[in-house]
Amino acid sequence: MKLYSANMPAPNPRRVRIFAAEKGITLPEVMLSLPARDHKSADHLGRNSLGQVPVLELDDGTTISETIAICRYLDELHPDPPLFGRNAKERAVVDMWTRRIDIQIGEPTKMFWRHAHPATAALIEQHNVFGESNRAVLARAMQWLDTELTDGRSFLTGDRFTIADIAAVTVIDFAKLIGLEPVAGNEAVAAWHTRVSSRPSLSS
């Protein structure tokens, strides 16, 4: 199998790379240039009709897109370490936190990127006032996350690193790259971010 991917700052391919590294999985990557619009080429649209990355292509030609779907597939093949949880309760908590991160932090970051960042101005019709309003939305979400992490837990779901942490660190790092300040002033988040960022997989 191989992964159709993209370099930084694309957060979604990075999410899969970190997950695979945590599992000790070597995934051959075909790097697509997002600025060159390789992901919108006819060849790639044949793999994913939405023209997005990453896409995992299996040996039988099956293609899987969406990061969580790809990571769940890899988790089934390589269950250790169990990054989606070890039992029904843990899996539910991990799913809850992954969803929270995608909605509370991912959405305002995405809306700022789409509607307020100059790199996307030529790609879509921007609504700059709306885009800029997401700075405050993200700041409130990060304050909420900071409060959640003041209970002393090491990672989002407790004492084990999971896909929820991968989802959070990739979107927070992307937010920083595009000019937002998600960690600033949030001491518990900053401590969590330092712990997570020290993992070897984060260099993936």
**Domain residues of the chain, as ranges?**
2-77, 88-203
Residue 140 and residue 152 in contact, taking contact as beta carbons nearer than 8 Å = no
CATH number of the domain at 88-203, please?
1.20.1050.10
Give the containing element (helix H, strand E) for 5: strand 2-5
Q: How far apart are CA 201 and CA 204, in angstroms?
A: 5
Q: Radius of gyration over alpha carbons of the chain, in Å?
A: 17
Same CATH topology for 2-77 and 88-203: the answer is no
Residue type, 38: D
* Beta pairing partners, 187: none
Looking at CATH, the fold of the domain delimited by 2-77 is given as Glutaredoxin (3.40.30)
User: What are the pLDDT tens digits along the chain (204 aa)?
Assistant: 999 999 888 899 999 999 999 999 999 999 999 888 999 999 999 999 999 999 999 999 999 999 999 999 999 999 999 999 999 999 999 999 999 999 999 999 999 999 999 988 888 899 999 999 999 999 999 999 999 999 989 999 999 999 999 999 999 999 999 999 999 999 999 999 999 999 999 986
